[in-house]
Each structure stands twice: as structure tokens, then as C-alpha cells.
Structure 1
Amino acid sequence: MSTTTSGEPARGPVGAGSPRSTRDRILDAATELFYTQGVRAISADKIIERAGITKVTFYRHFRTKDALVVAYLERQAAWERSALEGLRTSAGDDAEALRLFVAAIGAESCKPGFRGCAFINAAAEYAEPDGPVRRTVAEHRAWYRATFAEMLGGMGVSGTAEAADELMMLRDGAMVSGYLDEPSRVGAALERAVTAIVDAGRAARPAG
């Protein structure tokens, strides 16, 4: 199963043979170009050319480039959330879901074209912490922390908020390491670190 790391452009659900809407075509083009080349490096004109539309059509759907960046991140966030919730549903319990999530990050980081986390990458290009792009990134990271805390609580881990912060740091580190270091080492190192956090949290939980 593809994980939640943005190794591929997120695609909206469409039926077999269903035509893509103009908005989706713009987002598809933006996702590919933003992820592979960086957000600031890509102009609206390049997206217009890739999507095969006119400027009038582009600006009818997205009044500014920043609005498109936010939409790109929101679609990516929806895909990532759906993927993790799908793991939780299919795994049967959160311990197995977390194991699968960690394994998927390791597998994703080994894929050709992997360039790390779309949200970390976008945040690095937008310095304004109160701007719409950074707010979108912050909201998604808050969702991750809340979900991790919920999963850890179900696994019998104490101090779930602190442990969730630690998992978030590990997830971030894996995204960066998968892009900069030898990818094959990422999965095993992440699994060891996550296991240590879970074991320590379980051991610290009061008996009864």
C-alpha cells in the first residue's frame, strides 16, 4: 500500500475511464511540478502549459498561485489521512497499523523520484508562519500528532502527547533521511526508534 509520504502525486478518486475535471488537471500538473522541482521554481505559466489550458481557465479556478499551493497541499493531506485511516481499518488494531505505517515510509523512501515530504518542502519555501501555506502545513501536522496520540493511547502507551511529538519528529527525520541518505537504511532505523518509544511508554504506564 502506498504510504502517506508524497512519493507520487496524490490523485482524486475517479472511475475507470472518467475524464478528469479541469480543476483536477490543474492540480495534477501542479502536484507533479511542485513536488519534483519545488514550489517557488514553478510559475503559473508552466502549470498552464502542462495542464493544456488557457490563462483565463487557470485563474477562473485559482485566483493566485498561493491558492493553488494551498489546494495542492489540501489534496495531499486528504490522501495521506485516508491512507493512514485505511491502515487503521485494515490492520484491526493500532499497533499493527503503526507497524504498517512505518514499513510503508521505509518502502516509499526507496522509490525512484522520492523527494521527501511535500509539506516540509513547501514550508521550507514559505517563511511567513501566518501565511495560508504555512497554516495548511500546520493544520496537517496537528492532525498527525492527534492521530498518533490516539493510536498510542490505544496501544497502552502513557504520555501520549509527548510520545506523539516524538513520533512526529521520527516521521520528519525519515522523510529527510530518505531523500538525503541511503534509503534502504531508513525503514529499519525508523522501526527501531518507534519500537523504543512505544516500549518505553508502555513500561511507564502505571499498573492497573
Structure 2
Amino acid sequence: MPKESTARERLLATAGDIFYREGIHAVGVDRLVSEAGVTRATFYRYFPSKDELVRAYLESEDVALRELFASAGAAVDDPAELLELVLQGIAADVSQHHTRGCPFINAAAEFPDAAHPVRVAVRTHRDWFEATLVEVVKAAGIAAPESVAHSLVLLRDAALVGSYLDGPDVVVPSFVETARTVAGISA
């Protein structure tokens, strides 16, 4: 991998970690370049502004989730089993990976202007996520797939925030039970 690409990846990884743990506006470019081990010139070569780095961070989160959905879809033939796998994947994400809330919700809270590129990245992700859930729910033969998918998005949002506040041991079992009820499936 070329040196520049490695520096870009280090910046993205460092920003992703710090932005998620501490917030976006709380972290300056000086700290990002210091912890990533790059120069300011290198930073600005890849990201013309901090906002562009934030957008790239959210896009990398989006890509990771899309890849998880693709691998789950490739691993399972039964649509009902895929839906259960998606619910279990959300539960695992809430308890293991995104333990400080949803990175997209967190970013949206810091960027109130819906036309800002960061908020556009958030909207793009949420639109994809809901549309993908509609496809999964519809394939499983569940009535009112749009309504069920929308409810599952809201439940995921609540689980991510609730788990951060109340802990995954409290929230995850309730998420799974409620999501199954909303989808009309049993354990």
C-alpha cells in the first residue's frame, strides 16, 4: 500500500476512534494529526477540511455496515433466517461495537443544518439502512414491510442510545424481543 494511502487510513482510523469516543467538535485538527502521526500538510492533502474528514469517517461506518449486510445475505438462504440474523447483528453491534450510541445520530446532533455534507452523509446512510430493511422484511413475507422496517430503524436507534445510557444487559434483550414482536416473528 502506498505511503499516502496508509497515512489517509491512519487519519480515518484515528478520527473514527476519537470522534466516536469524545465527539466531533471537541477534537481539533492538531490533535488528530498528532495522534495519527501525520503532518498538517498530509491531513489537508487528503481532507481539505475537518468536515471532509468527518464525512469520510461516516462513509467508512456506512461501508462497514453495508459489508456486514452483504456478507449476512450471502451466508443465509432463508429470508426469515436472514431477518433474525439482522436482528442479532444489531444486538451484537449495540453491545460490542457501538457502545457509545450511534455514530450517525451522534454526528447529526453536532451538525444541525440538514443541508451540511455531514448531515447529508447521515441521511444517505439512514435511507440505505431503512431501504435494506424493507427488502429483508419483504423477502421474509412479513406484511407492511415499510412500516415494519421503519419501526426496526427506530428500535435500533433507541437500542444504540439506550444501551449507552442504561447498559447493553438491560437494553439488548428488550430490543430483540420488541423487534421480533414488531416483525411478527418468534425466537
Give the TM-score normalised by structure 2: 0.91
Equivalence for 1:85: 70
1:111–1:49 CA distance, 2 compared to 1 (3 A):
same
Equivalence for 1:25: 10
State the Cα distance separating 1:163 from its structure 2 match.
1.4
In the TM superposition, 1:16-165 aligns within 5 A as 21-111=6-96, 114-165=99-150
Q: What is the one-letter code of the residue matched to 2:79?
A: D
Equivalence for 1:188: 173
Unaligned runs of 5+ in 2: none
Aligned 8 A contact 1:114 1:179 in 2: yes
Larger mean Cα displacement after TM superposition, 102-111 or 146-155: 102-111
Q: Distance in 1 between matches of 2:94 and 2:148?
A: 23
Q: What is the one-letter code of the residue matched to 1:197?
A: V
State the Cα distance separating 1:179 from its structure 2 match.
0.4
Partner deviation per Cα, 1:83-111 (whole Å, 9 max, x = no partner): 12211221222322222222233333333
Aligned 8 A contact 1:36 1:113 in 2: no
Q: What is the one-letter code of the residue matched to 1:182?
A: G
Q: What is the one-letter code of the residue matched to 1:91?
A: V
State the Cα distance separating 1:183 from its structure 2 match.
1.1
Q: Distance in 1 between matches of 2:98 and 2:142?
A: 36
Aligned 8 A contact 1:103 1:187 in 2: no
Provide the secondary structure at the position in 2 that maps to 1:25: helix
Aligned 8 A contact 1:102 1:187 in 2: no
Count of residue pairs brought into register by the alignment: 184
Q: Distance in 1 between matches of 2:167 and 2:27?
A: 28
Q: Distance in 1 between matches of 2:95 and 2:63?
A: 23
Larger mean Cα displacement after TM superposition, 92-101 or 41-50: 92-101
Query: Of Structure 1 and Structure 2, which has the larger fraction of its residues in helix?
Result: 2
Q: What is the one-letter code of the residue matched to 1:148?
A: L
Provide the secondary structure at the position in 2 that maps to 1:110: helix
Q: Distance in 2 between matches of 1:26 and 1:119?
A: 19
State the Cα distance separating 1:195 from its structure 2 match.
1.4
Aligned 8 A contact 1:38 1:121 in 2: yes
Q: Distance in 2 between matches of 1:112 and 1:79?
A: 12
State the Cα distance separating 1:21 from its structure 2 match.
1.4
Q: Distance in 2 between matches of 1:160 and 1:112?
A: 27
Q: Distance in 2 between matches of 1:22 and 1:31?
A: 14
Larger mean Cα displacement after TM superposition, 102-111 or 65-74: 102-111
Unaligned runs of 5+ in 1: 1-13, 201-208
